[in-house]
Amino acid sequence: MNVSRRKLLRGAAFAVGASLMEACAPAAPAAPTTAPARTSAPAAAPAAAKPGDTIVLAGESLGDNYDPSVSFQGWGHSWINTQTTETLVDSRTGKIAPWLATEWSVSPDGLIWTFKLRPNVKFHDGTPLDADAVVFNYMRQIDEKHPYYLAEAITRGATLVGVQKVEASGPLEVKFTRSRPAGGMLAQISVPWAGLLSPTAIQKLGPDYARQPIGTGPFIFEKGAKGAEASVTANPNYWGGKPTLGRVVIRAIPDLAAVNAALTAGEVDFATFVDFKDLDVFRRNPKLKVEVVEAANYGYVGVNTRAPKLQDVRVRRALAHAIDRKQIIDVVLSGQGGLPGSFVPAPIPGYAKNLENYYPSDPAKAKALLSEAGVTGLSLAIWAPSNGYWPSLAELIQGDLGKVGVTASIEKIDPASFGGRVTEGKHELFVWDASQASADPSEFANSFFLSSNPRAAGRWGFNNKDFDDMVAKQDAEPDEAKRMVIIEQMQKLILDEVPQIMLYNGRFAGVTSTRVQGFKTLPFRHAVYMHDVSLA
């Protein structure tokens, strides 16, 4: 009997222990993300001079390819790019300003753009930033015959649209030749995806160059572990002066409750991927500062117009009418968001206020459109990134679609590979948001919907000649007011064709610990720059 009682107790203890683990499981996702921090801290000690000069940022995901011009791997990931690499032109505040290029000029026909480079700038490996370096970086993205050609560069669709050739016209002067004029040229090459890497490193390191990016930025890449943590250290030879911070650590914490815990415990100094419902709690915390800004961001449902069930535009419009956006804003965003316009987000010039709420929530109309299209018993799959509020948002949409007789299933996908997966074009619907990287109203026209862009085909199967023509027309339009009229027509066309169902205009909340000084939350997701930041 003794033996059996002991066994019994052991069994019970196991059950209790195991179940408690389950009950306490919400804390568990934090474990994998905090674990690497513990192991990396001792290793980092020799690198960091003082204990107080390391800032820890909470990012949502980290990939392992740090070439700025390849597929998006998360914003936490792109913050590594923004600390280590730089572009010719700066637009982080929404205004165009010199950066690695000090001045530029454009030919009267708008086809030839000449940039003068900042002298005495060196990459972290000592390679000088000269005309050859710029030519190497951009030609490998557009010239298929380049020995280091980068087929997966997203720049062709986002930053170098219409650029035919980049060549050196002097030791510190580069010339961009375009096939057609572009109103958004400067904004396009200002985005972080256009960041410049050391050509020597690319040639010497082979495929590994992307694991240790060598740029010109104020911070030098230290190390990175996919999905866990990456760090950069101050560049003592930075042309703009050595940064105050010694080290920046970016920790991937995809779980919003874990971000809340990390902020409250003081384990991270900055987070922008926070649950909006927690903002009041953060505001009441004397150790935290909260800043909410209207963001260059909107949420959407990506619609694969080539999927057999979604080829009929009436079906796509029906889905757009079925969704209750107010409910999404209230429940998922805790009220922090506005009704959507089209693909130009609210703070960007060219935002179409009159197209707001183009598809009001109207289940009856949705049903009518579906029966007009002769569709019954429609079932669709919604893909959602498995982090943040995306699964909840997908579940609300699932409920809305259910009300108009559309059965939806939800598939959750690892956020770091989400961008790649939806570009393969094997999905039906997916939920995500889009964040502009520049203040150019044609940014998403180019990076999303222009038919020559691989994303247009993959994500929504969108190929519209009228749209392409309008993109070219607005690019060539010198009069800004007239250009905006064309851009509004383009926005209406996208709403009518429904390659995306717009859900909301987003807001960003920057939550920092009070010891962080000199940081400002900007409407751009990538714009987390640490050069001027210090810790009190």
Partner 1 sequence: MSAQQASSSRRTRGRLLRRNKLAVLGAALALLVLVLGLLAPWVTPYDPIELDTPHRLEPPSPAHLLGTDPFGRDIVARLLFGSRTTLLVAVAAVAVALLAGGGLGLVAGFVGGRVERLAVMLIDVLLSFPLLLLAILVAYILGPGIINLALAVGVAQVPTFARLARALTLSMRERDFVTAANALGAPPARVMLRHVLPNIAAPLGVQATSTLALAILSATSLNFLGLGVQPPTPDWGAMVAESKRYIFDRPELSLYPGAAILLTVLALNLAGDGLLDVLGRRDRRAV
Cβ neighbours of 503 (radius 10 Å)? 26
CA-CA-CA-CA dihedral for 313, 319, 320, 326, to nearest 10: 180
Which tokens hold the place of 185?
Answer: 């040229």
Does the protein bind partner 1 through residue 411 (CB under 8 A)? yes
- Minimum distance of partner 1 from residue 386's CB (angstroms): 6
Q: Report in angstroms how near the CB of residue 10 gets to partner 1 at its nearest.
A: 9
**CB nearer partner 1, residue 20 or residue 49:** 20
303 strand-pairing partners: 429
With binding defined as CB under 8 A, does residue 363 bind partner 1?
no
In the list 168, 261, 293, 472, the residue contacting partner 1 (rule: CB under 8 A) is 261
CB of 528 to partner 1, least distance (A): 24
- Give min distance, CB of 270 to partner 1, in A: 19
DSSP per-residue codes, 201-266: HHHHHGGGGGGS---SSSEEEEEEETTTEEEEEE-TT-TT---S-SEEEEEE---HHHHHHHHHTT
Please, which residue, 127 or 336, has the CB nearer to partner 1? 336
User: Which two three-digit tokens encode residue 189?
Assistant: 């090459």
Q: Characterize 236-254 residue by residue with b for buried, 16 or more Cβ atoms within 10 angstroms of its Cβ, and e for exposed.
A: eebbeeebbbbbbbbbbbb
Residue 266 makes contact with partner 1 by CB under 8 A: no
Closest contact distance (angstroms) between CB of 326 and partner 1 is 10
The answer to whether 386 contacts partner 1 (rule: CB under 8 A) is yes
Question: Of residues 279, 307, 410, 476, which one binds partner 1 by CB under 8 A?
Answer: 410
Q: DSSP code of 338? A: B
Task: Output 275 or 475, the one with its CB closest to partner 1.
Answer: 275
Which residue, 259 or 348, is less far from partner 1 as judged by CB? 259
Which CB atom, from 470 or from 509, has the smaller least distance to partner 1? 509
Near partner 1 in 412-471, by CB under 8 A: 412
Residue in 12, 43, 49, 265 binding partner 1, rule: CB under 8 A: 12
For residue 489, CA distances in Å to 14, 307, 466 come to: 65, 26, 10
Q: Find the part of the chain contacting partner 1 (CB under 8 A) among 185-193, 326-334, 432-440, 458-466.
A: 326-334
Could you say which of 60, 222, 229, 255 contacts partner 1 (CB under 8 A)?
255
Burial of 174 per CB tally in 10 Å (0-12, 13-18, 19+): buried
**Is 283 or 482 the residue whose CB approaches partner 1 more closely?**
283
Any alpha helices (H) in 404-453, and if so which ranges?
415-423, 443-444
Closest CA to 364 of 412, 327, 318, 414: 318
Residue 260 vs 342, nearer CB to partner 1: 260
> Among 2-10, 55-63, 153-161, 463-471, which window interacts with partner 1 (CB under 8 A)?
2-10
> Residues 17 to 46: which contact partner 1 by CB under 8 A?
18-20, 22-27, 29
Of 4 and 105, nearer to partner 1 (C-beta) is 4
Q: What is the CA radius of gyration of the chain?
A: 24
Contacts of 269 (CB under 8 A, 6+ apart): 55, 56, 57, 512, 513, 515, 516, 535
Chain centroid to Cα 463, Å, comes to 23
According to CB under 8 A, which one of 291, 356, 362, 395 is a site residue for partner 1? 395
Stretch that binds partner 1, among 46-54, 149-157, 276-284, 352-360 (CB under 8 A): 276-284
Q: In terms of CB distance, is 15 or 43 closer to partner 1?
A: 15
Give the pairing type, strands 54-59 and 500-513. Answer: unpaired
Pick from 394, 450, 511, 530: which binds partner 1 (CB under 8 A)? 394
Least distance from C-beta 347 to partner 1, angstroms?
27
Total site size for partner 1, rule CB under 8 A: 43
Please, what is the minimum distance in Å from the beta carbon of residue 1 to partner 1? 9
State which of positions 139-168 bind partner 1 (CB under 8 A).
Answer: none
The DSSP letter of residue 189 is T
Q: Residue 67 — φ and ψ, nearest 5°?
A: -70, 120
Residues 6+ away with beta carbon under 8 Å from 268: 56, 57, 58, 251, 253, 259, 262, 513
Binding site for partner 1 (CB under 8 A): 4, 7-8, 11-12, 14-16, 18-20, 22-27, 29, 255-257, 260-261, 275, 277-278, 281, 327, 330-331, 386, 389, 391-392, 394-396, 398-399, 409-412
